[in-house]
Structure 1
């Protein structure tokens, strides 16, 4: 029976140690980096990790390839920060897992990664990353321009919706009577206008020819919606009327009033109303076949 040589034994031992080491190696469980943040707010970046049987040597954070924070528990000063444009670390709120950024700016946007390193001699290293985009919200709700107070049938509507001064530019959409406008021929798309400080203004036009179905109840509703990612949603709505439209209920009331008679004890006892009553009675009697001489005797 052959026995393993010294070289073979060392190889097997190294292999077993490798397997044991891998079973207890450090892992990155989750990297929580906010996808979007509003300019001027704070951002919390978290790197959750498991060390197994190992001890943490350091946690480091980078924006791109530039380090801006480190936590080394073995040092007398456990926390250190490094100057990176747009990255303002709140040291008191940061620790061995989380780093907090204050007053985020547009230039704070970018790719962030955490690096976890265990104590020697192995110095296991794991990296996790994610992207964050800082948004500058529009100065106001969408602005509707060119809207008239009323439109005639078969008149062309031509209006614009503007969402001013944001980064990135807002995504705009039009709704007519609560229905999203999808027809390309109705929409006029414009390139975002570049503003100072890198901001942008979005504009979307709407144009169509009115028809009867656009005025249910004599009213046409126009609404513009502005969106940015999942954190901004604002709308502006207005109603216009059909030129010369008379509401159905008013028309019906007038029609009934002009062609009706009133008989009752509460009718005004005036000479004119009595004459009208008598004249109406005569017409009715004649229509029902009463003799003229009898009708004259009644008068």
Structure 2
């Protein structure tokens, strides 16, 4: 072995031939150490306990053993089947259970079960250790230890920092230490206090009139995704108005609004001449909606605009008032004639 500064070179001999190797060979027979530091050359010969030539059969056996260890490391994950059940979401301040089930093949024994959040370990179970369970502090992780064991953990007092990717990793005993894992994404949500509100719709519309309205969702985290529908059919994006995102409401989340701009068409009015407008707000997998019914404006089968309808009602009221006044005058005259 030659040492120059921190550089080390191994010299191994099989019989009388000296061979320069980059790494120590498992089948070395005769090794030499060569020291060239400070230009002081020294040659040290150390004879190993074994002498003579290693048989070709033993060398082949050594290579096969190394290859078998390598292949056992590559395919070791097939010795374990892991299933992790991580909820997709939960409400702020709540609690959840995450489960990890596994099957180990080939007669191997369990070495450890570990849980990670965003690549950082926070729970470890090793059956041969005392104690068997170890926990490690991580942001957003508050474990209920009495309910956490080898195949299940419980998180309490969920916060927004609890959101992330969770991984369950299972390993077997050595020498191969087969390892397999499964991951799942989890999100903490804050729901709105109530369903969305529709504003701006009139009670009646005539064909050809412009329909203008807004749907507003209460603050939530994440921000609600809003959708308009008419008679159960989604409204195309070109008939909606997307407003800029407003600032979050402290402690509540982000409100959102989606506008509706279109012209009332005859096909919109179905059945008894009604239109059903619905606004849907999605927060995570939760759905909130509200709807309003609108009538077609018409008189004597003639469609009128909402303003025409109001004018017609006013005119009819005036007509009835005048007729009642004339009836009173005629009745009074008849009574006076009869008395005379």
Fold conserved between structures, TM > 0.5: yes
1:77, 1:130 → 2: CA distance?
A: 28
Q: CA deviation at 1:110?
A: 0.6
Higher mean C-alpha displacement, 47-56 vs 82-91: 47-56
Moved more, 201-210 or 191-200: 191-200
Paired position in structure 1 for 2:112: 58
- Report what 1:43 is aligned to: 96
User: Residue deviations 1:206-259, cap 9 Å, x none?
Assistant: 011224443332322211112234x212211111223344689xxxxxxxxxxx
Equivalent position of 2:82 in the other structure: 29
Which of 3, 7, 10 does residue 62 from structure 2 map onto?
A: 10
Q: Which runs of 5+ in 1 are unaligned?
A: 249-299
What do the CA deviations read for 1:257-298 (whole angstroms, capped 9, x no partner)?
xxxxxxxxxxxxxxxxxxxxxxxxxxxxxxxxxxxxxxxxxx
**TM-aligned CA deviation for residue 95 of structure 1:** 1.4
Superposed CA deviations along residues 7-65 of structure 1, whole A, max 9, x for unmatched, are 11222244456667857964243222222333333322223233333322221111113
Q: CA deviation at 1:121?
A: 4.2
Aligned to 2:4: none
Is 1:92 matched with 2:92?
no
CA contact (8 A) 2:77 2:178 kept: no
- Counterpart CA distance in 1 for 2:240 and 2:181 is 46
CA shift, 1:69, in A, is 1.2
Equivalent residue, structure 1, for 2:264: 210
Q: CA deviation at 1:160?
A: 0.5
Secondary structure (helix, strand or coil) at the match of 2:112 reads: strand
Residue 295 of structure 1 aligns with which residue? none
Deviation, 1:88, is: 1.5
Equivalent residue for 1:221?
276
CA distance, structure 1, for counterparts of residue 264 and residue 78 of structure 2: 69
Query: Paired residue for 2:221?
Result: 167
Counterpart CA distance in 2 for 1:215 and 1:82 is: 62
User: Which residue in the other structure is 1:147 paired with?
Assistant: 201
**SS at 2:208 equivalent:** coil
Residue 82 of structure 1, CA deviation: 2.0
CA spacing shift, 1:28–1:104, aligned 2, 3 Å: farther
**Which of the two has greater strand per residue?**
2
**TM-score of the superposition, structure 1-length normalised?**
0.71
Q: 1:24 to 1:143 in 2, by over 3 A?
A: closer
Deviates more, 1:77-86 or 1:206-215: 206-215
**TM-score, length basis structure 2:** 0.63
- Residues 82 and 170, structure 2, Cα contact 8 Å, conserved in 1: no
How many matched pairs? 244
SS across alignment from 1:47: strand
Relative to structure 1, the CA distance from residue 183 to residue 84 in structure 2 (aligned partners, 3 Å threshold; closer, same or farther) is: closer
Quote the residue 2:170 is aligned against.
Answer: 116
Give the match's secondary structure for 1:194: coil
- Three-state SS of the structure 1 residue aligned to 2:150 is coil
Change (3 A) 1:9 1:169: same
Q: 2:47 matched to which residue of 1?
A: none
Q: Distance in 2 between matches of 1:212 and 1:14?
A: 80
Highest RCO, 1 vs 2 (Cα 8 Å, sep ≥ 6): 1
Aligned mates of 1:59, 1:14 — CA distance in 2: 28
Q: Which residue of 1 aligns with 2:333?
A: none
Q: Which residue of structure 2 aligns with residue 137 of structure 1?
A: 191
